[in-house]
Structure 1
């Protein structure tokens, strides 16, 4: 008809099917043309007018849709679809309680209670009313016991409330009625896993994969549970089953790599880490894992290459900059190490290790002024830390500011006397000075 401008007669149900086909295909403009043609032939069709209202809502024409739906409600007040569409308008305007009120009216006239109850449940979720949401999803299951979408939503509500023991009780009762539901066993295993009851979690996942031996999610969760039980070889076997059943994922390769690492098999570990980043080159955790193994093997140039890959993906991660600084120190690239530590601080990583590492490298480079500035900043965050007091003392001695140097040295000795032996390695020239030796000796004698 559209191509030839010919007119053919279709009954309203056929038009409805055509329109639904176009909507499902995402061809909204063709759906609108079909509605126009359909209403031209069937101007009193409630079904076609409801579809017109649906497309108005889709286009955000809420006032026009509301007006049309009120007309239809006056004509056919027992049509549940009218109330569902009105509820949709309220929901899209964040008026979820009004949406619930209209859905409850729809519930009085519908033959598909589960569908409406699920909609009500979703509206309560928007309101963060998890108790009411859960009750409505649970009602869906009384209508259709195998409505697994509603089962997931019931457990989601328990999760959001942190009611994991209650979720376990609910799932056990569900399983009593349907012991062959792999979905219920899987969800039960997840709850036990959250509760750190790994033996019961493993038992639940075992049942899930026994019922359905192609259940990828079941094998994944079982493997994660075996990891927690330190049964790494079995965990690897289960991860590998998921690769046989479905396309491999970077997550699975990464977990296998971690298991091999815990089994002290670095060659196999790095092999799977490389598979992980090959599968997903943007997997920064994979690049970090390879970098860490390279560090442990003292392959620092390789480690630097891999940590740079991680930083390219997520330059806001202070852990990566820590590793970057650590690797550059091993390679005696001190200016790059400074860059790493400084980026950690810019990212609000104020661990004392960062401040100490930065000041030591700056001192090694002879940049005592910047080292002092950073140590002063650190001392505002960390009060009475020997690591900072000794370093402040050493730098003030470098500047020949004897009074401040002595003050910080005595502070350090008071906090941790023995630490002065370690700081000697960082500032050997300072701790050979006679005045420093005398202060330490006097303090020792006085404290005895």
Structure 2
């Protein structure tokens, strides 16, 4: 029996799929041109049905044995199903038929990269780059490989090439910002984005990234200006509003920040991060009811938002509801057990409740997690001092000084404890170190032990430094 071929010259993807499915139902053989087969394969790939897509490829190869594209499609499907050996085999066939096809080397490069064979990945991707008509995607992929290798300078070079090819590639702009961030080259980043904006003044992504770079250098006024330009170009750019709000917070312009955060709600649904940020602004304005309301909205949306639970605790603490605040501090701590701010708040709340043992244990945790927190060392030692354990509080301050050798506050406290313990010679030695560290802070000694103001030896030593 002769095979029944029907010729189809249409390029309408929907019609091609319908005709193909009719052919399968009828157990028949229709002829499709190569483009129609591509459309049908893409249809099944988009639907996430690799089995049917492979079946189409088999028909396509049978009818178009010299078309490399179907072996390339087959390789993509094998990559999708993680059958990498089969993918390589299909690519080998494609390469024999069409050795100058960029997609072959692009896919090979991506497979090698997934296997963490970076050099092989680069060899193939650079070969793809030579052959590709549109180079954006290949340049981006090469930059990703260099990022995975930790060579961010090389990644930057390829992202810049990508932008030279296509100034409107926003993904490349954002990746470039990320690389500059990792390299901590914010000045270079600013210089690049300013030059870019000279050529593309209406690129909202460039203005946004420029704003972020200014923000990281604590140039908050300039960052706000850049975010404003991004918003002017793209009115619904909610990320720019959010970051502008963050910059206003840094300038203590809390009410303005709240208004800007609220504007994000016009362009995207409210989220926990924004509610939490607004809560913090109201907290700074000492409007604790409003702050608590927004923190509660945040945890309602995201029960794992530790900062919002902590914020509720802060508002209660402000109202001297220390026992209630502890409950919320502990909820935050359960989500982030190594956060020194949470431990500090718990230590402080226990102290205010007169529970010195728990407070002491919490302060011990604060200085373990963050040994650079001078305030914590001072408070920790104070609690121990109140319990008249001079030996231990001297040890605590000594340990604090070991971690913060330039802190005059710790030296003056050390002097006070040594005098209280009767270690006068050591106290006078430490006093000289304290005075050398920061003479202006010598008043701290008398704040802690006022009776030392009557000690002639101490006064004489201080006077010799002030003169």
TM-score by length of 2: 0.75
Structure 1 partner of 2:297: 275
Q: Does 1:56 align with 2:78?
A: yes
Structure 1 partner of 2:92: 70
How do 1:228-247 residues align onto structure 2 when only pairs under 5 Å count?
Answer: 228-247=250-269
CA contact (8 A) 1:359 1:372 kept: no
Work out the CA distance in 1 between the residues paired with 2:381 and 2:307.
Answer: 29
Structure 2 partner of 1:324: 346
Aligned partner (choices 166, 175, 200) of residue 178 of structure 1? 200
How do 1:201-280 residues align onto structure 2 when only pairs under 5 Å count?
Answer: 201-280=223-302
1:4–1:346 CA distance, 2 compared to 1 (3 A): farther
Structure 2 partner of 1:155: 177
1:220–1:420 CA distance, 2 compared to 1 (3 A): closer
1:347–1:89 CA distance, 2 compared to 1 (3 A): same
Work out the CA distance in 1 between the residues paired with 2:245 and 2:372.
Answer: 36
Work out the CA distance in 2 between the residues paired with 1:357 and 1:297.
Answer: 21
Structure 1 partner of 2:363: 341
Work out the CA distance in 2 between the residues paired with 1:156 and 1:342.
Answer: 37
Work out the CA distance in 2 between the residues paired with 1:3 and 1:71.
Answer: 27
1:377–1:263 CA distance, 2 compared to 1 (3 A): closer
Work out the CA distance in 1 between the residues paired with 2:25 and 2:242.
Answer: 56
Work out the CA distance in 1 between the residues paired with 2:153 and 2:344.
Answer: 45
Show CA shifts across 1:268-312 (max 9, x none): 233222222222222111222222232222111221122121112
1:133–1:277 CA distance, 2 compared to 1 (3 A): same
**1:324, distance to aligned residue in structure 2 (A):** 1.0
In structure 2, runs of 5+ residues without a counterpart are: 1-20, 403-409, 432-441
* Between 136-145 and 411-420, the greater mean CA deviation after superposition: 411-420
Work out the CA distance in 1 between the residues paired with 2:113 and 2:141.
Answer: 10
CA contact (8 A) 2:242 2:264 kept: yes
Q: Does 1:411 align with 2:426?
A: yes
How do 1:286-297 residues align onto structure 2 when only pairs under 5 Å count?
Answer: 286-297=308-319
Aligned partner (choices 105, 118, 122) of residue 140 of structure 2? 118
Q: Does 1:94 align with 2:116?
A: yes
Structure 2 partner of 1:302: 324
* Between 130-139 and 252-261, the greater mean CA deviation after superposition: 130-139
1:152–1:346 CA distance, 2 compared to 1 (3 A): closer
Structure 1 partner of 2:157: 135
SS at 2:363 equivalent = helix
**1:372, distance to aligned residue in structure 2 (A):** 5.2
1:43–1:5 CA distance, 2 compared to 1 (3 A): farther
Work out the CA distance in 2 between the residues paired with 1:423 and 1:221.
Answer: 43
SS at 1:282 equivalent = coil
Structure 2 partner of 1:402: none
Show CA shifts across 1:238-257 (max 9, x none): 11110222111222222222
CA contact (8 A) 2:66 2:97 kept: no
SS at 1:180 equivalent = coil
TM-score by length of 1: 0.78
Work out the CA distance in 1 between the residues paired with 2:120 and 2:289.
Answer: 61
Work out the CA distance in 1 between the residues paired with 2:80 and 2:449.
Answer: 73
1:118–1:441 CA distance, 2 compared to 1 (3 A): closer
SS at 2:168 equivalent = coil
Q: Does 1:189 align with 2:211?
A: yes
CA contact (8 A) 2:381 2:396 kept: no
SS at 1:157 equivalent = helix
CA contact (8 A) 2:418 2:427 kept: no
CA contact (8 A) 1:254 1:276 kept: yes
Aligned partner (choices 26, 47, 50) of residue 48 of structure 2? 26
1:40–1:339 CA distance, 2 compared to 1 (3 A): farther
Work out the CA distance in 2 between the residues paired with 1:378 and 1:231.
Answer: 37
**1:67, distance to aligned residue in structure 2 (A):** 4.0
Q: Does 1:146 align with 2:168?
A: yes
Q: Does 1:165 align with 2:187?
A: yes
Work out the CA distance in 2 between the residues paired with 1:445 and 1:89.
Answer: 75
SS at 1:189 equivalent = helix
**1:327, distance to aligned residue in structure 2 (A):** 0.6
Work out the CA distance in 1 between the residues paired with 2:184 and 2:217.
Answer: 10
CA contact (8 A) 1:22 1:31 kept: yes
CA contact (8 A) 1:9 1:41 kept: no
SS at 1:108 equivalent = helix
**1:45, distance to aligned residue in structure 2 (A):** 4.3
In structure 1, runs of 5+ residues without a counterpart are: 395-404, 426-430, 432-436
Work out the CA distance in 1 between the residues paired with 2:245 and 2:348.
Answer: 33
